[in-house]
Structure 1
Amino acid sequence: MQFDEKLKQLIKSKYDRLGDLAEKFEMNYSQLSQYVNGKKVSIEFLNKIIQEFPEVDLNWLLRDDADMADGVKEHSEAYKVILTNEQIVNRIEMLLKDLKNQM
């Protein structure tokens, strides 16, 4: 399953309409619809998703399950999360800033 499919599933688990989430996030319905239909998302949007759905593992959400068919085989045990989703996003932002500075 890809990110957009997982995002749809996640939103449907808590909201009846996409517009309800767009309103909660104070964002344009059209932009949210694009994200749900496969447009690449921003870090800010991911941060909102993490805050709205704290029970969701960011690794699960971002990983394309189809890529794992020929990839590394992992244990079926649940991940032991050392960092919170917010800490992961902060770390990604820091790494992106460092990468930008190196360019």
Structure 2
Amino acid sequence: DLTGVTRFINSKYYNKSFEEGGLEDNSIWKVDPEYKAALESALNNMDHDTPVETYVFSKETIKQMKQYVETHGIGNSKEPDALNNFYNLFLAPNKK
């Protein structure tokens, strides 16, 4: 079941309760060690202005990205190569 609430999280809210803007207790970003480590690393990079990669998107590109996800699903949920295609269409050309 892929239902749930999508949250954009930053270090300010990471350790807060779901009701205060944090993640749900059963969020994969809290319970899976690999996901948790990846998120904590990303938050640390954001806090210290040390990103691994940076992308810049126009409003039009963001609109196209949302349409792509609506059509092709999140990740590879509908198509086995959707995530790779998303990267090639939107991330690779906008990498700074």
TM-score range, shorter chain: under 0.3
Tell me which of the two structures has the higher relative contact order, counting C-alpha pairs closer than 8 angstroms and 6 or more residues apart. Answer: 1
Which structure carries more helix by proportion? 1
Which TM-score applies when normalising by structure 1?
0.26
